[in-house]
A and B are shown apart, each in its own frame.
Chain A
Amino acid sequence: MARLSQLVPSSGHEPPILVDDPFSEAVLSSPFEFQHALREAGPVVYLSSHNVYAMGRFEEVRAALVNWQGFESGNGVGLFNPRHETPYRRPPSAILELDPPIHDAPRHALEQALGPRMLTGFRDGWARTAEIMVEELLNREVIDAVADLAEAFPLKVFPEAMGIPEEGRENLLLYSDHNFNSFGPNNALVENGRAAFTKLVGWMGQQGSRESLRPDGLGARIWAKTDEGDLTAAQAAGVIRSLLIAGLDTTVHALGAIIDAFLSAPRQWELLRAEPTRARVAFDEAVRWASPVQTFFRTATRDIGVAGTKIPEGEKILMFLGAANRDPRRWDNPDQFDLNRDPSGHVGFGMGIHRCVGQHVARLEAEVVLHELARRVARIEPSGEPKPHLNNTLRGWKTLPVRLIPA
């Protein structure tokens, strides 16, 4: 929680400078050494590779995330700073890159549509889907936990729950991956994804229209807000597209992280099997441990002193959620995936007014999958070398070959 002293403008001393590029292939494929250096350098650090400020310690990251008054999103949550550069390379997201007051109405509509009590109707159907999927996977010698489970499950249930047409659903992964890349610098990841992304822009633009959505889905629930005058038509279509973009890749990488987490700590699988009610905690612990969303930028709305360092007005600050979630100042044995830990309060979903609005959806997806796996699978064993999936914002696996040993 932000202390008064952190919010008072101060002249402050100069931050330590770190020369490493957090968006390099080396750091993206294994970020822990960099994160350690970032945390140890100081509460606020200057990254000379991109001329931005950065934070990696839990307390400061959390305080800055909740301080929307001091650290705005409306100037873009990527590296690109429209105050210094023109033109803006893409339109701002319909919710992620807005500040109050225009953030209020779409945010509230999404909170209402995606609250835990609004999702109970999906549980049985999703549990049945998980049952069928796991049954099928148990018949196979080796599976790829990414393609066959972490991607397959959300692709099956999430677009369906939203109520979008079946055709083109697989486009969402590609579109979303590039979108998350575009928050970083114009590196090879962005260049390589651009052509495929450009082809999908037209398709994405058509998603979210009221006519295209099934009347019993989450998308239609958001559109119903326009009938009550709570949301404009443009806002409804915009937030639905935002959900489609932000709701799938993130969950895919989070589910991949769970499997990876249990591979790293097989004893924990026994704990979950003995006590399946720990599934929710297990998911959040995996999100803390892996931080599928690694980073987001903010912009200082005025000169702000953070732990004695001045961040000047208009400058970008890169928040390392992943580093904060493994900060030993906050977490004991942070590199351990541990079901006996209380992961509450991790910043893997962000915090404050921009905290992940779909987190209850993700938790429910993970919970039903974990329940089913815990019921049917005695052990999860590695079966080949996993390959990382590189993205400027997300951390996940491209392939994760495993063997599911039936219970």
Chain B
Amino acid sequence: MRIVKIRTRVNGKDIQSEVEPRELLVHFLRENLGLTGVHIGCDTSNCGACTVLVDGKAVKSCTMLAVQVDGREVTTIEGISKNDELHPLQKAFLEKHGLQCGYCTSGMILTSYWLLKNNKNPTEEEIRKNLSGNLCRCTGYQSIIESVKYGAQLMMKEKEKEEQQIEVR
């Protein structure tokens, strides 16, 4: 059994580790790094519960090898909040009841986070299409769509506030 050394950056922290080439990214994140916000749902690349960001793009970590993030940056749900405060998207999901059992939520949030980085004010259709690889078996999606819309508003407000503060300074 060959072991490979990898260097990666996960949620802003530099990580050096040894992995077997066949180790999946989802297992590496959960078992080696304890990031259990990354969920295993279908394990067959259908449900999106295992979504993480690799170099800023949302991907299914059950369909990627841990060795493939060597030299790349990974963000999980644990990495999007700042200073112990929930990210605006997390606040929005809480307030708009964007979850029931919560199993799909980290994937829903990260996939939407990726969308909102490139498209600050998406249409409902864009939000829906973007989430077509993330399955929820509880909500019927309506409250998730509302959460993403509200999250987009909160993020824009936060950005405005930040810009005003910079001007004041």
B is bound to A: no
Q: List the interface of chain A (C-beta within 8 A of B).
A: none
